[in-house]
């Protein structure tokens, strides 16, 4: 028997856009958020290890790369935040009655995100702007900041998973109404979190490869080294993540796991496309990292990697819909589209993205063509 008493009523004000459009925009902006987050968090950890290896091996290549990543971390941290605001709005519009309640249950950890974030962001600025001066302390500066950002990710995963299980809320609240809960007793939480953080390392590996591709023209030796180094950062976390993904899958309640194994055609389809594309991506990356002209293969690998990320995000969405199915009747949700506002939003989103792409090209340049 489902206890609906803990779920607030749906807002009586009709939704300002069709549900399909709100869900599409949620998924689109979340994809952008997670990609930026991967560079900010994964990039921080890769920079820290690169500093460590550089010092151990006394390798100039490592230091050059560390300096290169240092320049990327502050802007990508800013992108993570700004690209997080949009999905936050869509999440509240679509799933507010779940998201607000879980947020209240873990109010203090949730609010602590602001403080942790400011400290981490500051650390990244110091790492970036005082790179030379920090010298021996660079490893710690970037490692501590990246760990703080990863902690924010952990708090997010706790909340996003807790909002899926309204049946737990009542007992949690009456056991402790002070808003200090986390959600670690959910068996899916750790594999879900690890899946995100490990894939952040893989995405950061791809960013290192792109950095290497740009260097090929000015310094071929450094460029080739970075392509291989980045490819290992992509490959090793990706292999580990295949195992973690299986762990997440089997940690899911049985009916949700079976959704991806034929129980739901769409979810199974996403899963199969995601699996196929990651295997093609791995193969292309292996060939590309050893090729004398790597760019074409690596570009193709990136495309398949992006397909994998998108299919994983779609799977995650199907999973949320399945969890919340007993509690939401989408047909009963009223909508009154405000097309004028939607068009302004779409124009600003496109304009904003064009500005960001232009800015990235100006700041980090284009890859050398070979």
Residue 91, SS3 per DSSP? helix
Our CB check for ligand HEM shows the closer of 77 and 238 to be 77
Our CB check for ligand HEM shows the closer of 68 and 87 to be 87
Our CB check for ligand HEM shows the closer of 149 and 284 to be 149
**Shortest distance, position 330 Cβ to ligand HEM, whole Å:** 16
Report the residue from 192, 195, 224, 297 that binds ligand HEM according to the rule CB under 6 A. Answer: 192
Write out the DSSP string of 6-24.
TSPPPPSSPBSS-HHHHHH
Report the residue from 22, 39, 40, 244 that binds ligand HEM according to the rule CB under 6 A. Answer: 40
Q: Are 75 and 82 in contact (CB under 8 A)?
A: no
Site for ligand HEM in 246-305 (CB under 6 A): none
Residue nearest ligand HEM, Cβ-based: 84
Helix and strand totals (H; E) in the chain: 13, 0
Handedness of CA 330, 335, 339, 343 (dihedral sign): negative
Any contact of residue 80 with ligand HEM (CB under 6 A)?
yes
- How many residues make contact with ligand HEM (CB under 6 A)? 23
Determine the Cα–Cα distance for residues 290 and 224; give it in Å rounded to an integer. 10
DSSP state, 58?
Answer: T
Determine the Cα–Cα distance for residues 185 and 179; give it in Å rounded to an integer. 16
Stretch that binds ligand HEM, among 25-33, 233-241, 249-257, 270-278 (CB under 6 A): 25-33
**Shortest distance, position 36 Cβ to ligand HEM, whole Å:** 9
Stretch that binds ligand HEM, among 79-87, 210-218, 322-330, 348-356 (CB under 6 A): 79-87
Q: Are 222 and 64 in contact (CB under 8 A)?
A: yes
Q: Are 318 and 257 in contact (CB under 8 A)?
A: no
Site for ligand HEM in 120-159 (CB under 6 A): 149, 152-153, 156-157
Our CB check for ligand HEM shows the closer of 87 and 223 to be 87
Any contact of residue 26 with ligand HEM (CB under 6 A)?
yes
Any contact of residue 236 with ligand HEM (CB under 6 A)?
no
**Shortest distance, position 159 Cβ to ligand HEM, whole Å:** 8
Report the residue from 17, 33, 43, 201 that binds ligand HEM according to the rule CB under 6 A. Answer: 33
Any contact of residue 41 with ligand HEM (CB under 6 A)?
yes
Determine the Cα–Cα distance for residues 196 and 308; give it in Å rounded to an integer. 13
Bin 333: left if φ > 0, else alpha if -120 < ψ < 50, else beta. Answer: beta
Our CB check for ligand HEM shows the closer of 297 and 320 to be 320
> How many other CB atoms sit within 10 Å of the CB of residue 359?
12
Report the residue from 70, 91, 201, 226 that binds ligand HEM according to the rule CB under 6 A. Answer: 91
**Token duo for residue 282:** 């791995």
**Token duo for residue 75:** 């802007």
Report the residue from 45, 196, 260, 305 that binds ligand HEM according to the rule CB under 6 A. Answer: 196
Any contact of residue 244 with ligand HEM (CB under 6 A)?
no
Any contact of residue 22 with ligand HEM (CB under 6 A)?
no
Which residues, other chains included, contact 237 with Cβ-Cβ below 8 Å and sequence gap of 6+? 198, 199, 201, 202, 205
Which is nearest to 51 in space by CA: 40, 60, 42?
Answer: 60
Residues making contact with ligand HEM (CB under 6 A): 26, 30, 33, 37, 40-41, 80-81, 84-85, 87-88, 91, 149, 152-153, 156-157, 160-161, 192, 196, 316
């Amino acid at each position: 028997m489902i206890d609906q008493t803990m779920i607030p009523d749906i807002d009586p004000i009709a939704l300002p856009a069709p549900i399909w459009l709100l869900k599409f925009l949620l998924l689109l902006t979340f994809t952008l958020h997670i990609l930026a987050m991967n560079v900010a968090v994964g990039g921080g950890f890769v920079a820290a290890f690169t500093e460590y290896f550089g010092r151990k091996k006394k390798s100039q290549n490592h230091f050059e790369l560390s300096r290169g990543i240092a320049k990327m971390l502050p802007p990508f941290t800013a992108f993570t935040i700004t690209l997080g605001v949009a999905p936050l709005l869509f999440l509240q519009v679509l799933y507010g009655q779940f998201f607000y309640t879980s947020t209240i249950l873990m109010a203090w950890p949730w609010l602590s995100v602001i403080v942790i974030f400011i400290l981490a962001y500051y650390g990244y600025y110091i790492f970036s702007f005082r790179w030379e001066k920090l010298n021996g302390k660079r490893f710690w500066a970037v490692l501590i900041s990246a760990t703080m950002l990863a902690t924010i990710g952990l708090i997010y995963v706790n909340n996003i998973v807790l909002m899926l299980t309204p049946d737990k809320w009542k007992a949690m609240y009456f056991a402790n109404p002070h808003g200090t809960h986390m959600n670690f007793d959910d068996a899916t939480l750790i594999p879900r979190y690890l899946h995100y953080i490990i894939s952040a390392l893989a995405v950061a590996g791809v960013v290192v490869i792109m950095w290497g591709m740009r260097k090929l023209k000015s310094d071929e030796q450094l460029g080739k080294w970075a392509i291989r180094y980045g490819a290992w950062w992509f490959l090793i976390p990706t292999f580990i993540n295949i195992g973690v993904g299986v762990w997440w899958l089997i940690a899911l309640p049985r009916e949700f796991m079976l959704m991806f194994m034929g129980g739901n055609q769409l979810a199974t389809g996403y899963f199969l496309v995601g699996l196929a594309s990651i295997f093609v991506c791995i193969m292309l990356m292996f060939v590309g990292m050893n090729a004398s002209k790597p760019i074409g293969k690596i570009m193709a690998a990136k495309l398949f990697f992006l397909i994998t990320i998108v299919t994983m995000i779609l799977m995650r969405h199907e999973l949320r819909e399945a969890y919340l199915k007993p509690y939401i009747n989408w047909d009963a949700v009223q909508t009154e589209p405000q097309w004028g506002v939607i068009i302004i939003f779409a124009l600003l989103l496109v304009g904003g993205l064009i500005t960001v792409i232009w800015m990235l090209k100006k700041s980090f340049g284009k890859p050398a063509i070979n």
